[in-house]
Amino acid sequence: MFIESTEYPFLKSIQDQWRDILSELSALEKEYFVKWPERSIYDGNWTVFALFRLGEHIQMHNLLCPITTSLLEKVPGLVNAGFSSLASGVYIGPHYGYTKEVLRCHIGLITPPNCAIRVGSEIRSWDPGSSFVFDDTQEHEAWNRSDSTRVVLLFDFKRNPDLPLTQFPDDIHQYQLVSDELGK
């Protein structure tokens, strides 16, 4: 269910600079993070700080994270990107992504023990600077059973960067507006 990161050479430069990304993350105010829009699939506090939405920059957020933004701009077919923060005790129930047109990547930033993700029948946890890619249309779930917050850089990219992307559901578009307002 997971795809080896080595199949995507552009990931190496992001992984190599994970400490710079972590530094930008650490400088962000917690108030800039908003709840993940699909509230029916999780309990607790799962928040995100968006940097790109449907291929478009979230300008005010990009200004706060120039290194991360620059690295993400080099991802072929980038669709969505941001920091995903999973508070202690949060469980994200089994769910499926919206389209087979994209793959999802996680880069570990703050990675306490007892945090993991299951995609299909395979379970993985995060290490600082590690990455993995998966097809999020496969059933997946995640949890944080630690006593601290887990944060990853999460981004979606097109399987084929040359093809147009189909439209995402309306609630995902509403999320963009909420995130944009926080950056002002």
- Determine the angle formed by the axes of helices 66-73 and 18-26, rounding to 10 degrees: 140
d(CA 159, CA 100): 8
* pLDDT reported for residue 168: 61
User: Is residue 6 within 8 Å of residue 43, measured between CB atoms?
Assistant: no
10-residue mean pLDDT profile of the chain (184 residues): values are 93 97 96 86 92 94 98 96 97 91 96 98 97 95 97 96 73 46 43
Domains of the chain: 2-182 (2.60.120.330)
pTM here is 0.90
